[in-house]
Amino acid sequence: MELEAKLHEIKKPIMVLGTSSGAGKSLTVTAICRILKNLGEEPIPFKGQNMSNNAWVDWEGGEMAYSQALQAFACGINPSAEMNPILLKPQGNSISEVIHLGKSIGITTAKNYYKDWFIPGWEVIKKSLKSIYEGNPNCRLIIEGAGSPVEMNLIHRDLTNLRVAKYLNANCVLVTDIERGGVFAQIIGTLELMKPEEKKLIKGIIINRFRGDLSLFEEGKKWIEKKTQIPVIGIIPWLNDSFPPEDSLDLLEKKSLFTNPDIKVGIIKFPSISNFSDFDPLENEETILIEWIKESQNLSKYDFIILPGSKQTIKDQIFLEDSGLSQDIREYSNNKGNIIGICGGLQMLGTTLEDPYLKEGSKNYSEQKIKGIGLLPLKTTFFEKKLTRQINTESRWPCQSEINGFEIHNGQTVLDERQSSLKINHIFKDLDLGWYKENYKGGTIAGTYIHGIFENDSWRDQYINLIRKSRNLPILNKKSISYKKKRESIINNLANEYHKHLNLKSFLN
């Protein structure tokens, strides 16, 4: 039987729409997921279509947006690509990779996306919804919208906002960010642009990121309710916890919570940066300050630098060369610097990158084979298909410990035998997951394909102590709090704050 015929049997879904991008939809869904879990329900997150290079790999090897994975953690369940059936990964120049149910199925331009992908996209969304309900008949979906639901030039082709809301007859919440200003216009304008049958789905309004005394907005709340005939079900205060950012713009706006760090980390901000959630565990270390490096400079002020993942490795390596950052990194290494590259960053630290199938940005340049930074004797060739899988292995350096994470990359990296004079060692029991070398002057250069490497507490502690030792800082013998426990604490704090200020009773029918 089709899902449409069963809608009267399922628990009413809750859908969180926003007056704009960045209004707080992702964190609101995360909070509601944990609140309902604590109330004994079976929440499951869902976002029909997401556009992000911050990805996660599920246990079947399927790609999905990290924000839906985080929401699944809030529900106490394993993430699955069904929770984010369409993922668009931007590659620049209005081109995106299209991923359906975790698998890469093509490349599209923005202009052609809805012409070529709208019908198959809607079908994969319905397929995912049906599968989720068949496997979890007692669940309640907590659905996240995307951007604004009333982009009038796109609304007839919108796959993930009001189309999903109407299909499931969901109870919808409209979230707006008062920090941006113009909150009344945001709410009234959004509602006025909806059709009557769409506006009827909006059962509540949430005012997000309110600073100061909540009682000062009482008159504003009354005005909104009188004007819209929709209750304001929550005024959420400004929260200072270090929540993971949704995209790279949020990432750059993040400020460190810690003012007296021992260690300063510089992370290269590639134009095509991906998987920046890799650094959330470092953001939560009280001894560490993170800064983002966007242009050529003397890197000596940093205790270690990180080259993160990249969606377009060739393109980003050319950016490093053209900007002068490649030379800065080499000079930093020669001055006893500590460097670690993750995925694309690992590939760039090698000697050569070859892109015969034009997968990593070389189509925009004259050469399909370019030089890397040259600090590790490794060469990478990019193939047609990418590798996505969960990883469970054991590290050999800087300590022996169990390692969990995931791979998500194109390309195969092997030793460059022409550079045999550069001694290199394997980091992991699985030999092709990472390498490191020690400079004869001091400092280390390491690279790994494992995303989530810093979530491994013993490994992270030992690597940080390696850096501390190289900088003549005392070794930290006290084990840090498990990052996964910290993440749970952050989600609980988020949910507790929302629970204090949010009335969900009218939705739980």
DSSP 405-416: EEEEES-EEEE-
Contact 287, 335 (CB under 8 A): no
Q: What share of the chain is helix, strand, coil (3-state, %, to 5)?
A: 40, 25, 35
Task: State the Cα–Cα distance between residues 320 and 132, nearest whole angstrom.
Answer: 44
Total residues found in the chain within this entry:
509
Side chain identity at 406, as an amino acid letter? F
Q: Compute φ and ψ for 250, nearest 5 degrees.
A: -60, -35
For residue 372, give Cα distances in angstroms to 60, 292, 318, 416, 432: 32, 21, 9, 12, 18
Task: State the Cα–Cα distance between residues 45 and 20, nearest whole angstrom.
Answer: 20
In 3D, which of 406, 404, 509 has the Cα closest to residue 459? 404
Q: Strand, coil or helix: what is 212?
A: coil
- What sign for the dihedral angle of Cα 238, 244, 248, 251? positive
In 3D, which of 291, 289, 285, 299 has the Cα closest to residue 260? 289
Task: State the Cα–Cα distance between residues 278 and 100, nearest whole angstrom.
Answer: 23
The one catalytic residue among 75, 139, 343, 409: 343
Task: Clarify whether 451 is annotated catalytic.
Answer: yes
The one catalytic residue among 100, 451, 499, 501: 451
Which residues are known to be catalytic? 343, 451
